[in-house]
Structure 1
Amino acid sequence: MNDHLNDHRRLGRELDLFDTHPMIGSGLPFLLPAGAAVRKAVEDFVHELERRNGYLHVNSPVLGKRAMYERSGHWAHYSDDMFPPMELGGEQFVLRPSLCPHHALMFGSRPRSHRDLPLRLAELGGMYRGELSGVVGGLSRVRAIQLNDGHVFCPAGAAAAEVSAALDLIEAAHGQLGIVPVRYRLSLRGDGAKYVDDPDMWDRAEAVLREALRARGRDFEEERGEGSFYGPKIDIQIVDPQGRENSISTVQVDLFQPGRFDLSYVGPDQALHRPVMVHRSLVGSLERLMGHLIEVHGGAFPAWFAPVQAVVLPVTDAEVPAARELVRRCVAAGLRASMAEPGDGSLGARVRSHRLVPFQLVVGPAEARLGEAALRLRDGTRQEARPIAQVLAWMAARASPAF
């Protein structure tokens, strides 16, 4: 990739995908309509992929009492990266740095049996990190994060299988999005107060992740000091055009928080057992994901998540009514469509200015009269004019992700 041409900060602004404003603040980008369309398509895909694989979707607040984060261990080990507490009615509330305490409390809010497990909860939720202004930039590192998060509560003996299943979903999502990771990293504990001091717990959790990676025949590198404060994780790494590496997806084994929140389920022996909590994010934060997708595809997104999937090009003003009707039918068929009117330039100029749109529908005098459209593809391929219903069916079949 050319680091100048593919930098998502430049492309994102040129293509009207996102922007920033000093009155909103550093590390707080906003998505414009085209960027919001990309994000919604990706959200819907991930939501459906999770649903088809046994996840139950939940919603939780973006803040909670400081006491919750003291219980989870975030306050002791992670408070330097959190926003300061807010005083309200004599209590302190905190913008959450992660979703896992909320999901742990959801599990503990009802009696659980071994028959309920594995319980797979997923959420696209907001979380907040107190990043310094000199660190944030573009979509790769931000202060307000929308995380594709999920937590699997399972018996200890099922943890390796759940890790492997999460890796299956991650690889399926990457395949549809066009993501090619550069490496898999097994992120381990480091030294110091940042990490929970329980070597046996860490050893057991690390063994589960190693087993899952080795069972898949997956090459990986171990790095100390990169784990979460409560446990090890598998980080799937990407690089940007400048060669900077980031994590895009992760799977973690957590033996710490189930104990902190006193989570339990009734086993087949009618005794109480402690579940393992497997954290996983198929595509990470939507901000970092979008930045990477902009760079990977150079703005020429696959048809299923392109911001505009079809553009209708009337040859002259006389075909504008027919073109408007075609746009309406495209939208009714579930496609994101727009029209490039003759006043925007010659047909050739309009084709060039919409070169990133997957499908271009040309409507000339004959097409308008016969109720047809001539289809041009982004790669320059042209198809003969066909009845509109046939063209719509052809596009719709290619504008959906595979599961």
Structure 2
Amino acid sequence: MNLDPADRLGLRLDHRDLNRDLDIFATDPLAGSGLPLWLPDGAVVFAELERLAAELAAADGCVPIKTPVLGKRALFERSGHWAKFADDMFPPMAVGSDAAGEELVLRPANCPHHALVYRARPHSYRELPIRLHELAPMFRAERSGVLSGLSRVRQINLDDTHVFCRPDQVADEAAKALRSALKAQEILGLRGDYVRLSLRDSSPAYLGSAEQWRGAEEALRKAASEAGVGVVEAPGEAAFYGPKLDLQVIDPRGHEETIATVQVDFNQPERFDLTYDDADGSRKRVVMVHRGTVGSMERVAAAVLERYQGRLPLWLAPTQVAILPVSPGQDAAAQALVDALVAEGLRPRLDPDGSLGARIRESRRRREPLIAVIGPAEAEAGEVQVRDVGAGVEGRVPVAGLVGAVKEAYVTRAASLAW
């Protein structure tokens, strides 16, 4: 594998340093701190992460929904977020000048809206579980001093699913969610260091009965066992509404982050009176399971940039193939290759101007996975000289073969071509 200069020196750049070469995101005082602007290449990374999240959710039987980023203050008072997190929420916005005017709030979490979607109509025990998925923005009024690139922001775009199930389904749903989270990290190449079982401690701040907590904690232990992973128990790290399984990673600087999570919640069903009709005709309380499979787009983008030091896997890279004609005589062949790749839904970049050496250096600076050079001999033979920079492999291949290999690597989310 060809290493970038920082790697050869034993250095690891963080995503903010890498961004100087990659142009993934920008910040501007007029937009505000902690509100990154996703540039065109960053928007590609965002879209690919969103696509991965949607595919994993669909494979688990989740259904997509869309909900507003605003809610009445009363919604978050009902959910308990206002009492617990008011200091971390943006101030209410008054709508209307009279006494009947409403106060709207940017949501700090997506679960209250998802609870409203569930209760929009009655449900039978035979329908459950119902899994509602949304790539949804939520907002935290973080202090300026803790904001950092993409890893600590004020708008969080979260791969968020809420499962509404019967009590006897909790362990299976938690195991399903954990397996999908582990699969997502495997695809992304992010190694989870350990799974943390976050429990409550003796603090009175937690909601729910001791019996509810014992049942939920045991369900999560069973889920981890069924998923084939061990856990490290962490008293005092639970959410205020229930215990959770957190997939933890430790970055090269020793900072620990939660990449994905599975949480049991018996608070929201109580507060929103979420029920189902049981076989005997009685109404029973549903259990809510929060699952974050891929995680937040910002944090995951930062993590993969640092994991690969900017040279992203081909499926995730904003530009997958840099196409460099040696001279104007090969422009037509180069454009034909661009058109063939675009027709397959792939992402080429044509760079015809300047010396070949300078263009190759520019492609390496941009950390593009494949460099395709077309000279007179290649154009005449219908071939292309391809360098797979990450794999350190170079070869001359037919144009159709290159297009097919790139498409296969993209569809299968392979790190590079199968040479």
1:181-330 superposed matches below 5 A: 181-190=192-201, 192=203, 194-196=205-207, 198-330=209-341
1:33-182 superposed matches below 5 A: 33-89=40-96, 90-182=101-193
- Note closer, same or farther for the CA distance 1:191–1:74 as it changes in structure 2 (3 Å cut): farther
Distance 1:319 1:313 in 2: 9
Name the amino acid aligned to 1:68.
Answer: L
- Note closer, same or farther for the CA distance 1:216–1:368 as it changes in structure 2 (3 Å cut): closer
The alpha carbon displacement at 1:26 in A equals 1.5
5+ residue gaps, structure 2: 1-6, 415-419
Give identity over the alignment, percent: 46
* 1:24 paired to 2:31: yes
Distance 2:344 2:224 in 1: 42
SS at match of 2:42: helix
CA contact (8 A) 2:134 2:161 kept: yes
The alpha carbon displacement at 1:282 in A equals 0.5
**Deviations 1:251-306 (Å, cap 9, x if unpaired)?**
00011111111111112222211111010000211101101011001011111111
Partner of 1:380: 392
- Note closer, same or farther for the CA distance 1:197–1:278 as it changes in structure 2 (3 Å cut): closer
* 1:354 paired to 2:363: yes
Distance 2:122 2:412 in 1: 38
5+ residue gaps, structure 1: none
TM-score, normalisation: structure 1 = 0.94
**Deviations 1:338-381 (Å, cap 9, x if unpaired)?**
012242x22x3322332322222221112223433232212231
**Deviations 1:21-66 (Å, cap 9, x if unpaired)?**
2222221111111111111111112211211221101110001011
Distance 2:174 2:90 in 1: 31
Partner of 1:12: 19
**Deviations 1:83-139 (Å, cap 9, x if unpaired)?**
111111211111001110111111100111122111111100010001111111111
Name the amino acid aligned to 1:351.
Answer: I
SS at match of 1:22: coil
CA contact (8 A) 1:303 1:400 kept: no
Please provide the CA RMSD for this pair: 1.8
Distance 1:325 1:217 in 2: 49
CA contact (8 A) 1:154 1:276 kept: yes
Work out which of the residue numbers 369, 380, 405 in structure 2 matches 1:394.
Answer: 405
TM-score, normalisation: structure 2 = 0.91
The alpha carbon displacement at 1:222 in A equals 1.7
